[in-house]
Amino acid sequence: MAHIGTAGNQGPGIRSDCYVALKIKKSGGIKIILDSKVGALYKNSIRDLAQQILDFYKVEHAELEIIDRGAISLVLAARIETAVKECLESDDEFLLDMILENQHSTEKDHKRRSRLYLPGNSPKLMLNAGIHKPDAVILDLEDSVAPDKKAEARLVVRNSLRGLNFYGAERMVRINQLPDGLKDLEYVVPHYVNLILLPKCETTDQVKAVDEKITQLLAEAGLDHPVYIMPIIESALGVVNAYQIASASERVAALAIGLEDYTADLGAQRTREGRESFYARNQLVNAAKAAGIQAIDSVFSDVADMEALREVVLEAKSLGFDGMGCIHPRQIKVIHEAFAPTEAEITKAKKIVLAFDEAAEKGLGVVSLGSKMIDLPVVKRAQNTINIALEAGLIPENWKETEQE
Amino acid sequence: MAEKFTKNAVGRMIPEKINGKPVIPFQGVHKYITDGKRYAPPLSSSANFPEDGNKQVKDLKTALKNAGIKDGMTISTHHHFRNGDLIANQIFQAASEMGLKDLVWFPSASFPCHEPIIDYLKDGTIHHIEGSMNGPLGRFASQGHMRGEGVLRSHGGRYQAVQDGEVVIDIAVIAAPTADSFGNANGLTGESACGLLGFALADSQYAHKVIVVTDNLVPFPCIPWQIQGNYVDYVVEVDQIGIPDRIISGTTRITRSPDRLFIAELTAKFCDEVGIIKDGFSFQAGAGGTSLAIGNYFGEIMRKKGIKARFARGGSNQYLVDMLEEELIDYILDGQTFDLAGVRSMRENPHHVNTSPFTSYNYHGKGNFAGIVDVVILGATEVDVNYNANVVTHSDGYLLHGIGGWQNCLFSKTVILPIPLFRDRIPIIRDEVTTICGPGELIDVIVTERGIAINPRRKDLLEKTANSKLPIMTIEELKAEGERICGVPEPVKLGERVIAAINWVDGTVIDVVYQVIE
């Protein structure tokens, strides 16, 4: 192993992050050299944390340099742990406390209109992600992380899953393509991740491998909450196999499509009209719905053009998609607005919910609206529509009272 | 000899003297009523001025000599060019060349472009600065390198101090984008147009000698005469007085940060929900990306509701001018022009009105219009759990910002501070702020990305938001949330030497700034 381990980021523009360099020595004890932008307020707590981690790994003689630009403890800890593990072999994990808010799981049909991508090695972007109220955040270990930063990103993501409050957003992680992705799972599954995004998925075997590994890791950790899988279809073969992939495991909660790679695989240009991917998107929606799960559209990459985004979302909704990816927090609101139910949809949903209430009150087993019988899934969908409308402030909390007047 | 300190009305220890002059500790809002008289500078006689009205002299050095510059004098300048000012540095370079010592620089504000002043503080030309010390100068003073103590005043407080004779200006140097040789001057035209010259009004009225420096000398009359030549002793023509581009700074553009836009939008929603945004209301959104974004969101709400604002207080800029031209606002009452669109509008539009610290902010007047404004949006570096706020020092003790109009604006009907809950791990809400610049009783609402705290004194606002979906929290809850993310900050140990006083709008001292220990 190396005698020098480094991790983190430094240079102009780096904020809420730090760079650490650890030199293991043969004698002389521990020397910590700290250059911190927030040293006046946190120098002792940073030193204490560093010392605690070195003690944990039984490092007795070393020089540890920390160039800190306002990193919070869980980031400092991830950086220092990475540097230590570059110097010595250890499977032990230095874990800070897990906050209560993050010890919760989600439903399989959880609302997934927006999911905000956050590069796994950029803690600054993660800090405030939750305030924008995306339905989900994706801590990304795949494309947004440079190959030589994969190991340290895993620890930042692990620590964030434990310690960062995302204010109710579902916590997703995009792992690397298999087989590396299976290793990624070890750093996230025991830490209450809600959903795993499986990139470049083409076969049911890939889903099954992830499923088995999740089951094994949960069992080892003594946990039994649900952890879902969202395969991302990004190739022609993936599109052909979409239904098999969607139904390969009980854990699969949604299918997503990744159009950049898909169009490249076809040898076509990605256009704004999207005719080249029309078949794939329809196929994906159809496969997902046939398997009884959600269909999620690709990201829209022009973060400055909100009008174009709105059009794209409205089109996705009309095709049957349930959500879209976002790469910028400002996209969230537009996506939620575009996915919000229309007036006609709300009116219809109100009628169904009221009819259901009436049937329940009268003890009727069958719900009917006019001369039409209504199935329970339809009632559930209507209730969902109402919930979204309530949340978006489109109808008042007491809509039932005003409706019956 | 140990200095004697007394505790003022916000619990801060204030020395008996600053720069050897006795000071009055802050006594509470509206508590200190003076019975003094306005300062009167010596009379002048037309007999001593050229009959043809031509007061031009060959250069700045000559003007300073003719004005009788000598050791220990107070020299004033103004910040109409913000970070593009070229004159202040030249004055002290000339003074240094003349071998002068112990001058007091009395700027209306300083900027990073004034870093060269540090050399003149070091070589003894300048004894101390009474005015904001931004960036490098603040750092220099914080490290204890300035011989005297700085005195920071608000824009209104500066007018008050000059009017009351607390500061006697020996020589005022007014950089003017256009002037005639009689000394009439304005900021509206010329290559270096900066809008208005309001910060120089007090200086023109009360300084013993007044020098106008311009790079656009026009034949008499210079119209309009924002500065009246009848107050002016000498006129100097130079190649360039300021860099117009630098009157525009990063803080005069709308933020692109999604987190700050979020805070801005939340602030606008709050104002709408409590009924502030109604037909005929008035607002002030200062410089700073978040404030500007809030103005924009106000515009959206006004358009949707089909209502107008009676007036907006500026700092004017492109965004405010657009709203004026769209007739969303009847008048802009402008104290400071932040960009060239503001300059153009003030020149062309009679509804874009130039104001001064006298009309808008001076506390020792028969009222001022700060209190007429329905809502102001201000910044802060720290706020304590009693809503006292700091706008001049950072949590590590460094003095890095001026007060500007901030204290004066606190008299508005509703004062809102939209601020992030933490900046680079530094929590904004503290048990005690490093420096108190404004008493909590005047600060109504703190809007952060993680929640909104309403001062318990504002029962009306608490009632209006009782059933709201807005994230209303107590300030203690907000503080706890910030510390949960960042950790509880360690106490910062500061030195014992007082390096600057923070004056309140009535001339009393609300707090002092201590030297930092490095």
Reported as a single tens digit per residue, the pLDDT across B480-508 is 999 999 999 999 999 999 999 999 999 99
Percent of residues in chain A assigned helix, strand, coil, to nearest 5: 45, 20, 35
Half-sphere exposure of A360 (CA within 13 A, CB side): 8
Q: How far is residue B73's CA from residue B259's CA, in Å, rounded to a whole number? A: 47
Testing the interface with B: which of A14, A36, A41, A44 to mutate, by most B Cβ within 10 A? A41
Chain B residues close to A73, C-beta within 8 Å? 487
**Residue B2 pLDDT exceeds 80:** no
- pLDDT tens per residue, range B106-159: 999 999 999 999 999 999 999 999 999 888 999 999 999 999 999 999 999 999
* Three-state secondary structure string covering B194-205: CECCHHHHHHHH
Burial class (CB in 10 A: 0-12, 13-18, 19+), B57: buried
Q: Do domains B53-130+167-247 and B250-491 have the same CATH topology?
A: yes
Q: Amino acid identity of B179? A: A
* CATH domain A4-87 topology: Ribosomal Protein S5; domain 2 (3.30.230)
Put simply, whether B432 touches A (Cβ < 8 Å) is no
| Cβ pair B200, B174 in contact under 8 A | yes
Q: Tokens at residue B280, please? A: 């005929």
- What is the least distance, in Å, from the CA of B434 to any CA of chain A? 12
pLDDT the model gives residue B1: 42
Whether residue A40 and residue B262 make contact (CB cut-off 8 A), yes or no, is: no
If residue A256 lies in a helix (H) or strand (E), which one and from where to where?
strand A254-257
Name the DSSP letter for residue B2: P
Q: Is B456 helix (H, G, I), strand (E, B) or coil?
A: coil
pTM of this structure: 0.93
Size of the A and B interface in Cβ pairs below 8 Å: 58
Residue with tokens 């139910």: A341
Q: From chain A, pick out residues whose CB is under 8 angstroms from the CB of B396.
A: 38-41
Query: What is the residue extent of each domain of chain A?
Result: 4-87, 102-339, 343-404
Both structure tokens of A154: 């895993």
A348, B163, B194, B237, B239 from B191: Cα distances, Å: 65, 32, 9, 13, 11
| Residues of A whose CB is below 8 A from B489 | 41-42
Give dist(CA A80, CA A44) in Å, integer. 16
Q: Is B439 left (phi over 0), alpha (psi -120 to 50) or beta?
A: beta
Closest CA relative to residue A295, chosen from A365, A239, A350, A349:
A239
Which CATH code for domain B53-130+167-247? 3.40.1080.10
Q: How many percent of chain B have pLDDT more than 70? A: 98
When comparing pLDDT for B365 and A380, which is higher? B365
Q: What DSSP letter does each residue of B23-48 carry, written as one string?
A: --B---TTT---------PPP--GGG
Cα–Cα distance, B301 to B278 (Å, whole number)? 10
Nearest-CA residue of chain A relative to B448? A131
Contact A132 B258 (CB under 8 A): yes
What is the CA B502 to chain-centroid distance, rounded?
A: 13
> CA-to-CA distance for B462 and B419, rounded, in angstroms?
20
For the domain made up of B250-491, the CATH class stated in words is alpha beta
ipTM tops 0.85: yes
Tokens 């046939």, located at residue: A290
Per the prediction, chain B carries an average pLDDT of 95
CA dihedral A268, A274, A279, A280 (to 10 degrees): 70
Mutate to test the interface with A, among B296, B395, B399, B425 (most CBs of A within 10 A): B425
Q: What is the DSSP letter of B510?
A: E
Q: Any idea what DSSP says for residue B242?
A: B
Residue A45 is encoded by which pair of tokens? Answer: 């707590």
Residues of chain A under the 50 pLDDT cut: none
Per-residue pLDDT at B250: 47
Of B258, B262, B396, the CB nearest to A41: B396
- Answer for the pair B82, B342: CB distance below 8 angstroms, yes or no: no
Q: Is the dihedral of CA A187, A189, A193, A195 positive or negative?
A: positive
> Measured between CA atoms, how close is B491 to chain A, in angstroms?
7
Q: Which amino acid is at A54?
A: L
Q: Residue type for B94, please?
A: A
Predicted confidence at residue B285, as pLDDT, reads 79
Across the interface, whether the CB atoms of A69 and B424 are under 8 A apart is answered: yes
Please, are residues B269 and B445 in contact by the beta-carbon 8 Å criterion?
Answer: no
Chain A residue with Cα closest to B262: A132
User: What is the distance between the terminal CA atoms of chain A, rounded to a whole angstrom?
Assistant: 76
Instruction: Label the pairing between strands B422-423 and B234-237.
Output: unpaired
B425 vs A: CB within 8 A: yes
- Could you give phi then psi for residue A137, rounded to 5 degrees? -110, 145
Residue B226 tokens read as: 């924002």
Tokens of B234: 């000498």
Residue A117 Cα, gap to closest chain B Cα (Å): 14
Burial of residue A163, with CB atoms counted within 10 A of its CB: 0-12 exposed, 13-18 middle, 19 or more buried: buried
Asked whether the beta carbons of residue A72 and residue B492 sit closer than 8 angstroms, the reply is: no
Tokens 């003094």 correspond to B36
Residue A156 to chain B, least CA–CA distance (Å): 15
- C-alpha A317/C-alpha A338 separation (Å) is 8
On whether the CB atoms of residues B370 and B360 are closer than 8 A, the answer is yes
CA atoms within 13 A on the CB side of B177: 25
Domain A102-339 in CATH: superfamily? Phosphoenolpyruvate-binding domains (3.20.20.60)
CA distance to B60, B85, B135, B287, B375, per residue, from B248 (Å): 26, 12, 17, 10, 25
Q: What is the pLDDT of residues B50-67, one digit of tens each?
A: 999 999 999 999 999 999
Residues of A in contact with B397 (CB under 8 A): 40
Decide: A22 and A4 in contact? Cβ < 8 Å.
yes
Q: CA-to-CA distance for B386 and B439, rounded, in angstroms?
A: 9
Asked whether the predicted pLDDT for residue B287 surpasses 80, the reply is: no
| Closest Cα in chain B to A97 | B484
DSSP string covering B336-394, please?
Answer: EE-SHHHHHHHHH-TTEEE--HHHHT-SSSS--GGGG-SEEE---SEEETT--EESSB-
- Give the start-to-end residue ranges of the domains of chain B: 53-130+167-247, 250-491
